[in-house]
Amino acid sequence: MERAQKTLTTAVGAVVLAVIATAFTWYRLGPTTRATVWAEDGDVFFSEHLQYGSVGSLLHPYAGYVHLLPRLVADLAFHRPIEQYAVTVAGASCVVAGIVVAAVFVLSADVVRAWPLRLLLAAVPVIVPIAPIEVLGNAANLHWLMLLLVPWVFTAHVKTWWGSAAVAVLALFAVLTEPQTLLFVPLLAVAWWRRPLRDALRALPVTLVTLGGLGLQVWTALTTVRPTSAGDPSVAELVKGYLLEPLAGAWIRDSFMVTRAVVAHGSFVVVVPVVAIAVLLVAALVVGSWRGRIQVVALAIGSIGIWTAALQANSSGNRGWDEPAGLLQAMTTVPTRYAAPSAMLLTAAVVLAAALLIGPRPTRRSGRVPLVDRSRALRVVAAVAGWGAVVVVVAAAVGSVTPGLSQRQDGPAWRPQVEAQTALCRADPSASIVVHNAPHAIDKVWDTAVPCRLVVGGR
């Protein structure tokens, strides 16, 4: 009875948190951004849904891998009036973000006991300053959110088979949406590290789903031609780019301002934060629980690994930060989309490290108490460092909470374009209309051909 009541309370709390996170994400987008269709959401997922249908498009590859969640979001939008396609996609994408927040909050309970700190950790994907620029509120970038989810899904110590099934479902959606979740597969060993054996076996469903889903992603990557060219960044470009975009974007929405500060005042602008973060992470590794330490390492390495892999796989992501021309460009342009997931993982690592420093530290099985627990001065220093990091993260979130910089902030809004051409569709229901999407790019036009039958159907 007590377990059932606790499960019900957890479920209700998760739903409430998901709703709040969804609403917050929706607010951060702003009215024009959420009314504008983003790139692949109109050009690829819309057109391929028309071509292959609801079922046929679900696992159809694009750009070398499977995109399950974006396909589902597009399918949902087709069940709404076509003039509401943009807001439906934006709303559904915000719901996915809310679910990720709620899932991380629940799954991280064994590592971060204090619920306010766990709430901050879970909220990272929707509060990071640069997240709304391109990642939040569109289906094409939902795969980045999966990278915040899988470290907790893969390491979950669930207590029931129902919980095991729920975690496996989350894993299924994650790995069939983002192939880079492969980087976190070693974390599955944490889920199996349990006694007795019957408890460890509850990791079997998530393991089978993960390996099967990633097997499909690997097969798709090997048998599908990617239209984008691979990059060849130098180590200097990777490092400088990371400092100027993911690191800067984790604390300030207009991250190009950091580049200007570096040019004007020197590299200490980014070196000082790097040193502070490194000290914080190392301190957390000293005093944290074994699962906490593993997660800190996974999130920190994941932040750097995702950034490196993205620039290696996509030449479009490299802006030549180690050259004067690249710095000039970085001083006036919004960050590349690859900066957002890396910034999210870095922020999550910082919040988790802070929580480990603030919270109670585990004693060793031998009965010896860690040095930091025997010294009151060290406990105070650890707590101050942890709370200091929390204040910085919260301040960064508050400073960028209002709708602002976005790749869709100038439209073009979807609905007015459809309504302006409705008369043409009534005149010729067999024709199609063209609707423009964001972003405005010189080398790529993101347009959607909308059949008139969808515009005037039932009218």
Q: For residues 130 and 165, state if they share a domain.
A: yes
121-175 pLDDT, tens digit each: 999 999 999 999 999 999 999 999 999 999 999 999 998 899 999 999 999 999 9
Q: Whole-angstrom Cα distance, residue 427 to residue 456?
A: 10
Mean pLDDT calculated for residue range 286-307: 94
In a domain? residue 94: yes
pLDDT value of position 265: 79
Q: Against a cut of 0.85, is the pTM above it?
A: yes
Q: For residues 419 and 360, state if they share a domain.
A: no
Q: For residues 446 and 301, state if they share a domain.
A: no
Q: Give 368's DSSP letter.
A: P
In a domain? residue 364: yes
Mean pLDDT calculated for residue range 286-303: 94
pLDDT value of position 353: 97
Q: For residues 227 and 366, state if they share a domain.
A: yes
Q: For residues 293 and 166, state if they share a domain.
A: yes
Burial of 370 (0-12, 13-18, 19+ CB in 10 A): middle
Q: What is the mean pLDDT of the chain?
A: 89
Place of tokens 């599955």: 188
Query: 391: domain range?
Result: 2-399
pLDDT at 295 exceeding the cut of 60: yes
pLDDT value of position 454: 94
| End-to-end CA, the chain | 54
Q: For residues 321 and 429, state if they share a domain.
A: no
In a domain? residue 116: yes
Q: For residues 418 and 393, state if they share a domain.
A: no
Q: For residues 46 and 100, state if they share a domain.
A: yes
Q: Determine contact, residues 36/413, Cβ cutoff 8 Å.
A: yes
pLDDT at 300 exceeding the cut of 90: yes
Neighbour tally for 207: CB within 10 Å: 18
Q: For residues 357 and 435, state if they share a domain.
A: no
> Could you tell me what percent of the chain has a pLDDT over 90?
66
Mean pLDDT calculated for residue range 225-240: 80
In a domain? residue 225: yes
pLDDT value of position 370: 57
Q: For residues 142 and 229, state if they share a domain.
A: yes
Token pair of 2 as six digits: 């007590």
Residues 6 or more apart whose Cβ sits within 8 Å of residue 146? 69, 100, 173, 174, 175, 177, 178, 181
Taking Cα atoms as reference points, which of 314, 303, 310 lies closest to residue 246?
A: 303
Helix or strand run (H / E) with residue 244: helix 235-244
* Choice between 118 and 258, residue whose per-residue pLDDT is larger: 118
pLDDT at 389 exceeding the cut of 70: yes
* Choice between 331 and 248, residue whose per-residue pLDDT is larger: 248
Q: Whole-angstrom Cα distance, residue 246 to residue 408?
A: 20
pLDDT value of position 367: 46
Least reliable range by pLDDT among 5-19, 190-204, 319-333, 400-414: 319-333
Q: Determine contact, residues 420/85, Cβ cutoff 8 Å.
A: no
Taking Cα atoms as reference points, which of 222, 242, 404, 240 lies closest to residue 339?
A: 242
* Choice between 332 and 207, residue whose per-residue pLDDT is larger: 207
Q: For residues 378 and 447, state if they share a domain.
A: no
Mean pLDDT calculated for residue range 11-21: 92
Task: Compute the Cα dihedral for 205, 209, 211, 212 and give only its sign.
Answer: positive
In a domain? residue 406: no
Q: Determine contact, residues 209/168, Cβ cutoff 8 Å.
A: yes
Q: For residues 295 and 420, state if they share a domain.
A: no
- Crossing angle of helices 142-154 and 68-78, in 10° steps, is 130
In a domain? residue 407: no
Choosing from 366, 399, 432, the residue where a domain stops is: 399
Number of domains in the chain: 2
pLDDT value of position 268: 78
